[in-house]
Structure 1
Amino acid sequence: MEWPQSTQSRRWLLSRGLTAGAALALPVTLGAKAASAATAQATVDMEQVLVACQVDPPKPNTDTTPGTPAHVTAVEQALRAEGLLVPGQVDGHYGTATLSAYAAWQRSLGFTGIDANGVPGRTSLTELGAGRFTVANIVTAGSRTDSYGGRRVNTRTATMLRAADQMFSWSLVLTQGSYTSDNPDSAGTHDGGGVVDISVSALTTTQRWQTVRALRTVGFAAWLRTPSDGFAYHIHANAISDPDMSRPARNQVHDYYFGRNGLANHAADNTPQAYRVPFTWWERHQRG
């Protein structure tokens, strides 16, 4: 979750207008030509940039992710203009160099901790785009102190869980929420937002897989963990494209995108074909 560091800055005044979808009030002295140039700015789809943030960094090369390169390139060009990225790294691949450069941009705005994780939030992306591009399809985590079944999650995750819960007759019971490092077995995946563990002890095998399918349908990367994986039975779910997600959790989304299990061995996903769905995220699911 990002918040403006100074409401008095010119950039923040511009970004507020962009975020609200309002037309920018251009000074009369700029004239029609300048106004026309402003309206001709490129558009960066934040959803696509977030997909690239999850899928690209763990790749062993600089291949791009379908649908994302033009949007990532616009962000990289802006980072280059800010002196944070070298020309050879403006390639449409949101790899570790771009993550580091974007984190430096966030720190320059006064952000710290998870707000300077290299993953664009609404405020930092809008400010980076001021005079360069506009931002479409904004994704926000919402409050970090929301809850679901007594477990801490952010508002976006809670909304997704409620949507999945409506798809079956039983109820989701969380055993671990987000923004917690209490369980070392989680390897940092729950440190940020968007990640939950769900109890399946009261469910049949079929119900467990149906729950996985429902979670995937609304935009989670979800897997049924089993004793053969080294865990007691439970479902581990990551809310794809959550901007607060920790790096280990984002790497699991990378695995999910490529049909793997999100564990250290990167083995094939054990989910039966009947319970798999196409890769999606919450905002895309909402649009149908």
Structure 2
Amino acid sequence: MELPTRRWLLTRAALTAATIAAVPLGAAPAPAAGAAPATAATALPVVDMELVLLAAQLDPPKPDTGLTPGAKAHVLAVEQALNTKGLLAASAVDGHYGSSTVSAYAAWQRHLGYSGIDANGLPGVTSLTRLGETRYTVTRPVRAGSRTDEYGGRQVNTRTATMLAAADAILPWGVTLSQGSYTTEDPTSAGTHDGGGVVDISVAGLSTTQRWRLVLALRTIGFAAWLRTPEQGFPFHVHAVAVSDPELSAPAQRQVHDYYFGRNGLASHAPDDTPTAYRAPFTWWEKSQRA
């Protein structure tokens, strides 16, 4: 996973006078309110990591260059930095975090020495901060945490474990995982579990209503979640993807896109068959905790 390097820590220490200010959802990067007169440090805009991550999941599969609401200015700052590094063509600096931007960001991650899921094209706190040196500061960071955490004996990262505990607290029965993250043990998962943030949940012993209540609880706290059925080619279980986990595999990223647009997250991209009563507004963990 992305970890601070010595060089980054030294740079961060040199910038401790800078103010990293939280901004409202959808706001464009701007200097912190009430900041001291502009200097080389305080004049830097901020990039909202939550919004950049959201765009990185939602934009690439779009058939055009449609923008993710509220994210354009933040994505532009990242793209401009990638362009300066020689990794992204000027024609792709448009505020749309499309496939070209994903590839350019993955190249930046590899330049920093990352590989595998750490070079997936989704910003991590360290790589995003390093990219923004002298250009922007990062606000609302999203951290996956340790990859060696467990939930019910299944491997997940810290963020996912925290989210599952929150969903568990909503329900009068326990959440039991049948598959965790960072695993290729089930070939029918099509690579969705290869990275972080993705789990399968057992529904054994649950009634139909309880299964849908489980889906609703997961969606409420920031998972893209669906009930999988034999009609779809699966044994009954709930498949859940933690929206905006920075370590999502590419197939899992596309499932977040599907969920946002009301689809089923399968190869068919058919409409979501979740009953209306068990749907929830699109959200992610950090946003759900601010509500």
Same fold (TM over 0.5): yes
Percent same amino acid at aligned positions? 66
1:176 to 153, 175, 179: 179
Q: Relative to structure 1, is the Cα distance of residues 157 and 16 closer, same or farther in structure 2, using a 3 angstrom cutoff?
A: farther
Mark the runs of 5 or more structure 2 residues left unpaired by the alignment.
Answer: 20-35
Q: Distance in 2 between matches of 1:128 and 1:60?
A: 28
Task: Tell me which residue corresponds to 1:4.
Answer: 4
Q: Match of 1:122?
A: 125
**2:11 paired residue number:** 14
SS in 1 for 2:170: coil
Residues 147 and 106 of structure 1, relative CA distance in 2, 3 Å threshold: same
Residue 109 of structure 1: CA displacement?
1.1
**CA 1:71–1:24: 2 relative to 1, 3 Å:** closer
Q: Contact 1:181/1:188 (CA < 8 Å) preserved in 2?
A: yes
Q: Tell me, in whole angstroms, the C-alpha distance in 1 between the residues paired with 2:2 and 2:274.
A: 35
1:150 aligns to what?
153
Structure 1 residue 36: Cα displacement: 1.1
The CA distance in 1 between the partners of 2:9 and 2:85, in whole Å, is 16
- Which stretch shifts more, 34-43 or 164-173? 34-43
> Where in structure 2 are the equivalents of 1:229-244 lying within 5 Å?
229-244=232-247
Deviation at 1:211, TM superposition (A): 0.6
Aligned partners of 1:253 and 1:268: how far apart in 2? 14
Aligned in 2, Cα 1:116/1:17: closer, same or farther, shift over 3 Å?
farther
1:134-170, Cα deviation, whole Å (9 max, x unpaired)? 1000000000000000000000000000000000110
Say yes or no: does 1:91 pair with 2:94: yes
Q: Which residue in the other structure is 2:26 paired with?
A: none
- C-alpha distance after superposition, 1:8-47 (max 9, x if no partner): x3x54223566xxx4259xxxxxxx997132011110000
In 1, the alpha carbon distance for the partners of 2:46 and 2:255 equals 28
SS of aligned partner of 1:166: helix
1:48-59 aligned within 5 A: 48-59=51-62
Q: 1:285 aligns with which of 279, 283, 288?
A: 288
Between the aligned partners of 1:12 and 1:54, the Cα distance in structure 2 is 28
Tell me what 1:208 maps to: 211
Runs of 4+ in 1 over 6 A off after TM superposition: none
Q: Distance in 2 between matches of 1:42 and 1:12?
A: 20
Aligned length: 275
CA distance in structure 1 between the aligned counterparts of 2:249 and 2:10, rounded to whole angstroms: 30
* Conserved? CA contact 1:52–1:68, under 8 Å: yes
Distance 1:164 1:224, change over 3 A: same
**TM (normalized to structure 1)?**
0.92
- What is the aligned partner in structure 1 of residue 200 from structure 2? 197
Q: What amino acid maps onto 2:203 in structure 1?
A: V
Matches of 1:46 and 1:17 in 2, distance apart? 21
Matched, 1:246 2:240: no
Structure 1 residues 266 and 16, CA gap change in structure 2 (3 angstroms): farther
Structure 1, unaligned stretches of length 5 or more?
26-32
* Corresponding residue of 1:185: 188
1:111 to 2:108 alignment:
no
Retained in 2: the 8 A contact 1:12–1:127? Answer: no
Aligned match of 2:264: 261
- Work out whether residues 146 and 155 of structure 1, in 8 Å CA contact, stay in contact via their aligned partners in 2: yes
Q: Which has the higher helix share?
A: 1
Find the residue that maps to 2:258 and give its secondary structure.
helix
Q: Distance in 2 between matches of 1:126 and 1:137?
A: 12
Look up the equivalent residue of 1:112 and give its one-letter code: S
Amino acid paired to 1:14: T
CA distance in structure 1 between the partners assigned to 2:124 and 2:13 by the alignment: 14
